[in-house]
Chains A and B, each alone.
Chain A
Amino acid sequence: MFRKFALLAVALGLGLLSACALVSPEASFAPTHPQELPQGRPTCSECHGTERVKSTQKQFAAFDHTPTFVKNHKFAANQDPGTCAACHAPAFCSDCHGGKTAMLPSVKLADRPDREMPHRGNYLTMHRIDGKVDPTSCFKCHGRANNEKCSACHK
């Protein structure tokens, strides 16, 4: 029995050492952008040009906050959350992606019409239309939330 445990311990130790050898030796990306940015959507490539973000192999232009980037930001947030975190506090994401929210993001941030917000206007009427056209877009936020407000009508 002792031999089995010893062999297992040696195997685990060797596995751990191998795993450590696989870890990149490079320094981590800066946790905070060194300069404060002006208000509004930043264009990273304005200052960084065609340079690549060292830790991501992507050009800074890939993070320019263009209308397309804002619409498809899920891909950047998925692949490079560390780059987002250099400028955005975690609470920024929770303005919309709260899981369970106290009120609509567009009501909470009614004084920011420049920001893309889901469900602007009185969405209760519109959701019956959008839900017919594309219910899969509802699923992304509500499908795993077990939202009691949905259950009140959708029994």
Chain B
Amino acid sequence: MRQHTQVALLAALISATAGAQDVSVYSTTMAQMYQQNVPGFDKANLLPATEYLAIDATKLGSDRLSLHLYGWGYTDLQDQSTIGGKTAGNLTYGYLQYNFDQANAVIKAGRFTVNQGAGNEQVDGVSARTDLVNGFYVSAFAGTPVIFKNLDSYPQFDLAFQRNITFGARLAWRIPKMGELAVSYLQDGTATPSLNVNDPVDYTRRQMGVDLKLSPWSMLDISGRTLFDLAKHDNLLPGTDTSNIAEHDYSATLKPLDSLSFTGSFVERNFYAYYAGSTLPNLFDMNEKGLFRATGLSATWAPLSGFQIVADVKRTDREEYGTATRAGADLRYNFTKAHVLTGFGYHKINAFNVIQVDARVPSYSISHAEWRAWAMVESGKLSATIDAIRLHYSAAATNPFLYGKAFETQLVGSVGYQAATSFKVSGDLSVEDTPLYQKQVMGILKLEYRFGFSFKGGK
């Protein structure tokens, strides 16, 4: 969509909120201050100012009609802080929604994100869902994918994979006292004509998903999905061995006690099928034939009120690169009376032989350890937080991306003052010492406003 059309649409949508009976506005204004010092680049003094704005306007003429908007814009007050220019903005979503008082039926129109079994898409279009009889429900969407256009100075070849329309549907069956089973489908349209792309390969996505959530007993919960790639891939040479199964992603949780639960997980992804439809093929190579597999186990134990410990281990295998194991634990303790919440975590990642990364360094270790400690405290209108992260890389001497540095540290402190129910001012100070940035100090001043009648917001 052209920029002036977006601005006109946004203005029309915002003006529509004037007719709403309940309007909630969430605004966050942030000013960051830091000096960037990256090896090989000029030093830069950065002062970007960013505004996030969200509006939820309900009861627009009808109790069931609502408008939802969320976007951001920033401008650099000193040196340019990111690629693309000193100002930028984005409308993340902006849609009208009608909720029917029967069958959980909903219709949306505008820009929104679709999240269904097959399909996690940001589109400009329409969507609808409704419950059916006998425990079935159906949802569907269609629209134009939101294009994140590359800079003019960069090659536009990524857009060869951008399609002019995408659509999908999901049919689910809710089984009483058991859970839910669903099947979903997603398909792209043809290449966007205005891009004038003459590519002999058809990258149109055709995906089918199966997802489930089963809980036959309260102590057992199984969730997951399988994603199939149904595209023809006529460009493949005869006899090429690829799987049509893009992804298996499943987890099962067993809860023998209220205070104790165990979760096992399994993930398998075939790159060729999983990367179908990527708009960033130079990073996610759609011709890669590798396989990724991960298996994990975690235990959550809450022996005391406010205290929780999660121990976890996960093994990952990537065919071309090797095996890694991540194991560790996270603790949380809530000192309720003192309004203090604390956490501590430690994880060790063993990955001794990552292979074929660079012809000069064919194999090196990416093993490392992670420590994290954090705390939050509230006292009346004042609040404060601290968050410390420390990484220790095992083979800094052989990993060409660590510049010989074995440690990475980041410390973030924040102090806030809730001046009124709807207004908070806070300041963050971050100090970090990393292989890439060496030493960097960043300050952030943040102003938050929340106006409205709704108490939603996701705390």
Measured between beta carbons, the chain A residues less than 8 angstroms from B180 are 56-58, 79
Of the 9-residue stretches B3-11, B210-218, B235-243, which lies at the interface with chain A? B210-218
Contact assessment for A139 and B132 in the assembled complex, using a CB-CB cutoff below 8 Å: no
Given known A-B contacts A24-B133, A28-B101, A113-B387, A81 and B115 have beta carbons under 8 A apart: yes
Measured in the bound complex, the distance between the Cα atoms of B457 and A55 in whole Å is 23
User: Cα distance A110–B324 when bound, in Å?
Assistant: 29
A68 is contacted by which of B145, B146, B300, B435 (Cβ under 8 Å)? B300
Binding site for B on A (CB under 8 A): 22-29, 31-32, 36-37, 39-40, 50, 52, 55-59, 61-62, 66-68, 72, 74-75, 77-79, 81-82, 87-95, 97-103, 107-108, 110-114, 120-122, 124-126, 128-129, 132-136, 138-140, 142-152, 154-155
Majority DSSP secondary structure for residues of B touching A: strand
Q: Which residue of B lies closest to A31 (CB)?
A: B99
Chain A residues near B2 (CB-CB < 8 A): none
In the complex, what's the smallest C-beta–C-beta distance from A76 to chain B, in angstroms?
8
> In the complex, how many angstroms separate the beta carbon of A62 from the nearest chain B beta carbon?
6
Nearest-CB distance from B200 to chain A (Å)? Answer: 21
- Report whether A143 and B343 are in contact in the complex, using a CB–CB cutoff of 8 Å: no
State how many angstroms separate the Cβ of B227 from the closest Cβ of chain A. 11
Query: Nearest Cβ distance between residue B48 and chain A, in whole angstroms?
Result: 8
Interface positions of B (Cβ within 8 A of A):
24, 26, 28, 30, 32, 50, 52, 54, 56, 68, 70, 72-74, 82-84, 88, 90, 92-93, 99-106, 113, 115-117, 120-122, 130-133, 135-137, 145-151, 154-155, 158-159, 162, 172, 174-180, 182, 211, 213, 215, 218, 221, 223-225, 247, 251, 253, 261, 263, 269, 271, 274-275, 277-280, 282-284, 292, 294, 298, 300, 308, 310, 316, 318, 321, 324, 330, 332, 334, 341, 343, 349, 351, 354, 357, 366, 368, 372, 374-376, 383, 385-387, 389, 391, 401-402, 408, 410, 412, 414, 416, 426, 428, 430, 432, 434-437, 440, 444, 446, 454-459
